[in-house]
Structure 1
Amino acid sequence: MRLSTTRSMNPQKGLALAHRQRGATAVEFALVFPLFFTIVYMIITFSLMMVAQQNLTLAAEEGARAALNYQPNTSLQSALTNRAAAACVAAQAVVASIVSAATCTSTASACSPSNGMQCVQVAMAYDYQNHPIVPSIALLNITLPKTLTSSATVQLNPENIQ
């Protein structure tokens, strides 16, 4: 009965095989690392973008709620203008520490001609292309949005505005 030859029987052959495999791990790592890094980078980037988007949404909602508060006024139009301005002040206060470059616009207008209600819309925007949260990497920035936006609207009864 003949046993098959193994490395233990021929130590020279095993040593030569180990010597040939010496740089294989480094080459495999060099091939896999860029893919792994890209995946981790995109997970972090999109997670932080979602946090910024949620904060913009929260700010727009808080601004819309602030438009419900009484503001000093002399007419219906000045009341709506003052409430819209107060809405942006409240919205900017919410995002000031997180997304400091966010801009707020608020408009007051009639919701629909049939019901006579007035609406205040608060819109938040963040220029992500010029103010990225995570520094962008070449070729990966084509998947990122240029701006993040969010808006909220509150409906006001004209009888309760002044």
Structure 2
Amino acid sequence: MPRTTRPRVHAPRPRAARVQRGVYSLEYAMVFLLFFALIYTIVCYAIVFTFRFGLQNAAEDGARAAVRYQPSLEQRRLHAQEVALARTRGWLPVEPEVRATVLAQGPLCDATAAGRCSVQVTVQASGLNRVLPPLAGLVMPDVLRGQAQVLLDGRAL
């Protein structure tokens, strides 16, 4: 004798289950906003760190260029400034301010400890808040700076 199946009769849902029907979409929306804010923050900070490391590398390259032989201190300073500026062209969205200064302990730069000279290269970019994604400018710095200093050997001057 074949077994006959009776149609299932679903019991009505309790009132508490009917109230919970849209809660998953609400939870998803809240969790999505949290994850989106986290990813957005990571991307914004990555952009700032990339700009900052690029400026630091440009300053270091400029300082290394000052060590190369040049006939005078002024030419070393200018060469360091040109190299640092060249390293920021093409990738930096704003025009940076590049400054190279000769720091001397005495009136003359020579090989003695009292007459040591150094070249300090500073690369500074202002107005980066215009480049960053929206809302990131509220917490991100507007001015980024890279700085490097190299001690010159007085015997090579």
TM-score by length of structure 2 reads: 0.76
Specify the alignment match of 2:76 in structure 1: 83
Taking the aligned partners of 2:139 and 2:78, their CA distance within structure 1 comes to 35
Identity of aligned residues (%): 30
What RMSD over aligned residues (CA atoms) do the two structures have, in Å? 2.6
**Which SS does the other structure have where 1:155 is aligned?**
strand
Taking the aligned partners of 1:130 and 1:46, their CA distance within structure 2 comes to 12
Specify the alignment match of 1:103 in structure 2: 97
**Which SS does the other structure have where 2:12 is aligned?**
helix
Taking the aligned partners of 1:67 and 1:103, their CA distance within structure 2 comes to 18
Offset at 1:115?
2.0
Q: Cα 1:95–1:153, aligned 2, differ >3 Å: closer, same or farther?
A: same
Offset at 1:32?
2.7
Q: Cα 1:105–1:131, aligned 2, differ >3 Å: closer, same or farther?
A: farther
Q: Cα 1:97–1:31, aligned 2, differ >3 Å: closer, same or farther?
A: same
**Which SS does the other structure have where 1:136 is aligned?**
coil
Offset at 1:119?
1.3
Gaps of 5+ in 1: 1-7, 73-78
Q: Cα 1:65–1:136, aligned 2, differ >3 Å: closer, same or farther?
A: same
**Which SS does the other structure have where 1:106 is aligned?**
strand
Deviation string for 1:56-101 (max 9, x for gaps)? 11111110011112235xxxxxx22221111121112222232242
Gaps of 5+ in 2: 1-7, 107-112
Tell me if 1:135 matches 2:133: yes
Specify the alignment match of 2:155 in structure 1: 159
Q: How many residues are treated as equivalent by the alignment?
A: 143
Q: 1:52–1:98: 8 Å Cα contact kept in structure 2? A: no
